[in-house]
Amino acid sequence: MIQTLEWTDRGVRFLDQTKLPTEETYVTCTTYQQVADVIRNMVVRGAPAIGVAAAMGIALGINDSKAESTGDLKRELDQICDVIGQTRPTAVNLFWAIRRMQEKFERIRIRPIPQIKQALIEEAQRMHAADIAANQAMGRHGATLIPSEGGVLTHCNAGALATAGYGTALGVIRAAVEAGKKIHVYADETRPFLQGARLTAWELMKDGIPTTVISDNMAGAMMRQGKIAAIVVGADRIAANGDVANKIGTYTVAVLAKEHGIPFYVAAPISTVDLACPDGSQIPIEQRNVKEVTHIAGKQMVPDGVSVENPAFDVTPAKYVSAIITEKGIARAPYADSLRLLAGQEAEVRG
Ligand code: MRU
C-alpha cells in the first residue's frame, strides 16, 4: 500500500506529492512547524490526510516540549494547534483532528508528562489506522452503487494519497474493482494543481486499474458520448444540509451530471461532515497563490499584469448529489436528516 504519511522514530515521514508522478521521494519532518509547512505547500494534501498529518504534527510538537508542568504543556499545545490550524482553511478534517487531540489531552492531563506525550503519539497513530479502516468500509458501501461495467469519472485526487491509505472516492473504485466490476476510470486532470493527472493517474496505474486522463473541459463531451456511467468524488467539508465543498471544478461536473442523468456520488468519512456548518455558503474557501494558475511547471502561461483568481475549492449544492457514501453507510436526501443520523452514530461509537 502507498505510504502517504507515517509516524517514524525520526519524525513524520511524508511521500512528497509535489514531486509525483516523476519522482517518488519522501520528506521527514522533525518539528511541528515543518509539518505545518508541508500541509501548506501540499507535500501532503487531501482532507483526511491533512487531518492525520495535523494530529501527527501536534504529537511531534508535544513530544519535543521541555515543559515541566501540565499548564505549560497545555499552553504549548494551544500554540502548536494555532500554527497547524492556520495552514489550510477548507478541509474540516484539519480542525476535527486538532479538536480530537485537544480533547485527548484534556482527558489525560492528570497523568505524568511523559505519559501524556506517549498517549498523544498513540492517538495520532490510532487516527491513521482508523482512517484506513473507514476508507475500506466506505469502499464496501460505495461499491454497491457502482455499475458492473462502464466509465467512472473522478475529479481531483481522493485516493490513497489524499488519506492514510486506500482512499475515499478511489477507495470506492478500488472496492468495486475488487468485487469484479469492469470499470474504466476517467480522471479529470484538475487544473491548476493537476491532482487528477499527476496523482490519481499515478496511484491507479500502480494498482493496474484502467484509467484515462482527460483535461477538465472534456468531461461534458465524455458524458454526452455515453462514456460515463457514474461519478464519484471526495469532499473537503460537507455542510449539515448536504452541500459539498470539494476541489474547484467539482460543481461543474455535478451540474453536467444532472443534465446527462448520471449519478453523482460523494465519498467522505464522517470527520468531513461539519454539522455546525448549516450550508455551503458558510464554508471558507481557500484562495491559493495565483502562480498555480499563471505558471505550469515553472513556465509562465499568462501575460504579466492580468487579473487572475485561484479559489482552491467550490461548493456543490446538495440537490446535485445523488448520495453521500460514508464509513457508517450511505446518506440520501434529505441530507439534514440522514447526515445527522450517521454522524450521531459516529459520536456514540467514539463515546
Ligand atoms: O487541494 P487538495 O489537493 O488538498 O484538495 C483535495 C480535494 O479536493 C479532495 O477531493 C478532498 O480533499 C477529498 S480527499 C479524500
Q: Quick one: angle between helices 113-143 and 47-63, nearest 10?
A: 170
Residue ranges for the chain with pLDDT beneath 70 = 345-351
The last residue of one of the domains, among 136, 162, 195, is 136
User: Are residues 187 and 102 part of one domain?
Assistant: no
User: Are residues 94 and 22 part of one domain?
Assistant: yes
User: Which grid coordinates are listed for 109?
Assistant: 492531563
User: Are residues 190 and 267 part of one domain?
Assistant: yes
Give pLDDT, residue 345.
67
Give pLDDT, residue 1.
83
User: Are residues 218 and 100 part of one domain?
Assistant: no
Look up the CATH number of the domain holding residue 234: 3.40.50.10470
User: Which grid coordinates are listed for 115?
Assistant: 505519559
User: Are residues 166 and 39 part of one domain?
Assistant: no
Give pLDDT, residue 351.
41
Q: For a pocket test of ligand 1, which of 246, 264, 272, 289 has the largest count of ligand atoms closer than 8 A to its C-beta?
A: 246
Contact 249, 188 (CB under 8 A): yes
pTM, two decimals, is: 0.97
In the chain, the number of structural domains is 2
DSSP labels for 281-304? GGS---B--THHHHEETTEE-S-T
User: Are residues 155 and 76 part of one domain?
Assistant: no
For residues 135 and 74, give the distance between their C-alpha atoms in angstroms, rounded to a whole number: 32
Ligand 1: which residue has its CA nearest to atom 5? 46
Contact 199, 157 (CB under 8 A): yes
Contact 47, 92 (CB under 8 A): yes
Give pLDDT, residue 24.
97
User: Are residues 261 and 346 part of one domain?
Assistant: yes
Which residues are near ligand 1 (CB < 6 Å)? Answer: 45-48, 91, 156, 158, 162-163, 168, 195, 234-236, 246-247, 312
Give pLDDT, residue 346.
60
User: Are residues 116 and 170 part of one domain?
Assistant: no
The minimum-distance atom of ligand 1 relative to the CA of 163 is 15
Let me know if 175 is exposed, middle or buried by CB neighbors in 10 A (0-12, 13-18, 19+). buried
* Share above pLDDT 90 across residues of the chain, in percent, rounded to a whole number: 97
Give pLDDT, residue 159.
98
Give pLDDT, residue 188.
98
User: Are residues 305 and 289 part of one domain?
Assistant: yes
Give pLDDT, residue 279.
98
User: Are residues 322 and 245 part of one domain?
Assistant: yes
User: Are residues 110 and 183 part of one domain?
Assistant: no
Ligand 1: which residue has its CA nearest to atom 6? 46
The minimum-distance atom of ligand 1 relative to the CA of 312 is 1
From the list 131, 236, 243, 314, the catalytic residue is 236
Which tens digit of pLDDT belongs to each residue from 12-66?
A: 999 999 999 999 999 999 999 999 999 999 999 999 999 999 999 999 999 999 9
Give pLDDT, residue 347.
55
The last residue of one of the domains, among 85, 110, 136, is 136
The last residue of one of the domains, among 136, 153, 168, is 136
Look up the CATH number of the domain holding residue 77: 1.20.120.420
Which tens digit of pLDDT belongs to each residue from 235-260?
A: 999 999 999 999 999 999 999 999 99
Q: Which domain holds residue 121?
A: 5-136
Give pLDDT, residue 92.
98
Which of these, 52, 53, 25, lies nearest to 39 by C-alpha position? 53
Ligand 1: which residue has its CA nearest to atom 8? 247
Contact 8, 53 (CB under 8 A): no
Is 82 a catalytic site residue?
no
Let me know if 298 is exposed, middle or buried by CB neighbors in 10 A (0-12, 13-18, 19+). exposed
